[in-house]
Amino acid sequence: MKFTVNTLDADKQQSDCLVIGIFENSELPMSARQVDAMTSHAIENSLKNGDFAGKLGQTLLLNNLPELASKRVLLVGCGEAKKINEASFIKIVKTAFKKLEQTTYESIGIYLTELLVPNHSIGCLVRSAVIAITNTEYSFQDYKSKQKDGLSADVVTFFATSAQDMAACEDAIREGKAIATGMTSTKNLANTPCNICTPTYIAEQAQKLGKNYSKLKVKVHDEKALEKMGFGAFCAVSQGSVESGKLVLLEYKGGEKNAPPIALVGKGITFDTGGISLKPASSMLEMKYDMCGAATVFGVMNAIAELELPINVVAALACAENMPDGNAIKPESVIKTLSGQTIEITNTDAEGRLVLCDTLTYMEQEYKPKTMIDLATLTGAVIVALGRKFSGFFSNNSELTTALKQASEQAHDPIWQLPLDDSFGELLESTVADMMNASLCRVAGSSVAAWYLSQFVKDTPWVHLDIAGTANTTGSNKAATGRAVPLLVQYLLNQAKTQEQ
Ligand code: BES
Ligand code: MG
Ligand code: ZN
């Protein structure tokens, strides 16, 4: 799908369908008045005769408008004008495209940016629209024997009133497309069934991605290599699986040669049975999404390579399968991490922190990053605490906290800060090793897990995002969401912009 922008008024635009937003009980917007002037007041009449009232979520398709250059007009209800905000704007865009999906149009002309959302530039709205449209159209059909057809509009055109707006829209389309592409690759990877999407598969996908971008280099360390390198905690998880664990490194060099990179780390458990501390069957469903941290990082790298951001970013995907097996690690085993700290494994189901801790140590030692952010579907407790709208956020640094909160607001990708405090460490005190990997009681599970990770970050400003509640939806409509891709791409865009100044 191609997104473009032009300055043609609604009565001049030639497309299969125009999309016009109408507020309830308000004056008609410019595009509607232009259409009305050509069509003996088709829009005004449908409001008068009660076919359409402009209520949020309502739609009305007008055809048979021979006077108009475009073939049809889709009216979309926008509710009360004073209540419009970016969230309702996105809802309006999604409603329109859900409706358009029912028929095939080659070209669509969108006039929704007339809606003027307070504190939002036209560029901001266009960027959100591009992301919302791509997400609405996404459907994962790779493993269906019969493909469902969706909307296949070739061209979606936005409307700008000035040359200045036009330039802003072009930039917005570029950013929106990159973020949407990132989300799509995250979703594709995460939706791929776990018998296909193994650590080796993720490594192959990363290598493919690297071939598409000259600034992106990919290296893979397999389980044997990791064992030699001292990844004792990582291998303690992976040893119970016939699939070889993989540490996948993606090095993006868009900035100056020696500028310290930003490091991203993703939990990539391609299936989490719990290991010997086996999960009950009902808790095991949806554990194919336990690689969503890695999938998100993968999508972010795709987006920034697409945007050619002038910064350096290194990413690590910590990929393994957590299985029960004759060779699986037993509870009460003690292992040595790459950092030298020893761990008593009290629960093999707290495996995410085990693959992550060695990876965090490695990234800090190997790349000396400026900042480090890890993403993980780490704890069920974060869903209990925050539900499914907010990703759990933890940090050891206030400046980085501010930067991420700002990016979260700009990208409309909500996070909520939870405490990181040494008192949580008391819950992990072990009688035989430096610490346990899981507490013996269930209190503050997400903070305890975050504290554990913090012991493997020495002096780097660091953020941990627990995306267990946000990375995927559940039940009969289960699917990966691509969440946290907008947040991180926004953070990196902001970094690139401050650097340019
Ligand atoms: N992958 C799970 C966390 C999870 C749970 C993600 C539910 C999404 C939905 C993680 O590996 C896990 O099993 N965590 C345990 C930790 C506990 C053993 C300390 C949990 O949350 O119960
Ligand atoms: Mg687990
Ligand atoms: Zn897990």
List, for residues 1-51, the tens digit of each pLDDT value. Answer: 999 999 999 999 999 999 999 999 999 999 999 999 999 999 999 999 999
Q: What tokens does 334 get?
A: 């003690």
Q: Ligand 1 pocket test: which of 356, 379, 472 has the largest number of ligand atoms within 8 Å of its C-beta?
A: 379
Report the 10 Å Cβ neighbour count for 386: 21
d(CA 86, CA 256): 36
Angle at 476 between CA 475 and CA 482, to 5 degrees: 70
Which protein residues are within 6 Å of ligand 1, measured from CB? Answer: 272, 290, 347, 349-352, 377-381, 438, 445, 468
Q: Three-class SS of residue 335?
A: strand
Q: Which helix (H) or strand (E) holds 17?
A: strand 17-22
Q: Which helix (H) or strand (E) holds 110?
A: strand 107-110
Q: Ligand 1 atom closest to Cα of 290?
A: 1
Active site (annotated) includes residue 208: no
What pLDDT score was predicted for residue 151? 57
CA of 414 to the centre of ligand 3 (A): 22
Q: Ligand 1 atom closest to Cα of 322?
A: 11
Instruction: Provide mean pLDDT across the span 400-428.
Output: 98
Closest ligand, as measured to the CA of 478:
1
Quickly name the fold that domain 181-500 has: Aminopeptidase (3.40.630)
Residue-wise pLDDT tens digits, 467-488: 999 999 999 999 999 999 999 9
Active site (annotated) includes residue 336: no
Q: What tokens does 431 get?
A: 């009688």
pLDDT surpasses 80 at 148: no
d(CA 139, CA 129): 18
Q: Which residues contact 238 (CB under 8 A, 6 or more apart)?
A: 199, 223, 226, 244, 245, 320, 321, 355
Best CA proximity match to 400, nearest among 316, 467, 465, 308 = 465
Is the Cβ–Cβ distance between 353 and 232 less than 8 Å?
no
Q: Which residues contact 144 (CB under 8 A, 6 or more apart)?
A: none
CA of 174 to the centre of ligand 1 (A): 37
Residue-wise pLDDT tens digits, 319-368: 999 999 999 999 999 999 999 999 999 999 999 999 999 999 999 999 99
Residue-wise pLDDT tens digits, 266-324: 999 999 999 999 999 999 999 999 999 999 999 999 999 999 999 999 999 999 999 99
Is the Cβ–Cβ distance between 379 and 471 less than 8 Å?
no
pTM value surpassing 0.85: yes
Q: What tokens does 269 get?
A: 């458990």
Quote the mean pLDDT of the chain: 97
Is the Cβ–Cβ distance between 7 and 100 less than 8 Å?
no
Q: Do domains 2-162 and 181-500 have the same CATH topology?
A: no
Sequence spans of domains, the chain: 2-162, 181-500
From 279, 336, 388, 405, active-site residue? 279
Closest ligand, as measured to the CA of 269:
3
Name residue 55's beta-bridge partners.
none
Name residue 463's beta-bridge partners.
373, 395
CATH classification (class only), 2-162? alpha beta
Q: Which residues contact 164 (CB under 8 A, 6 or more apart)?
A: none
From 127, 288, 353, 483, active-site residue? 353
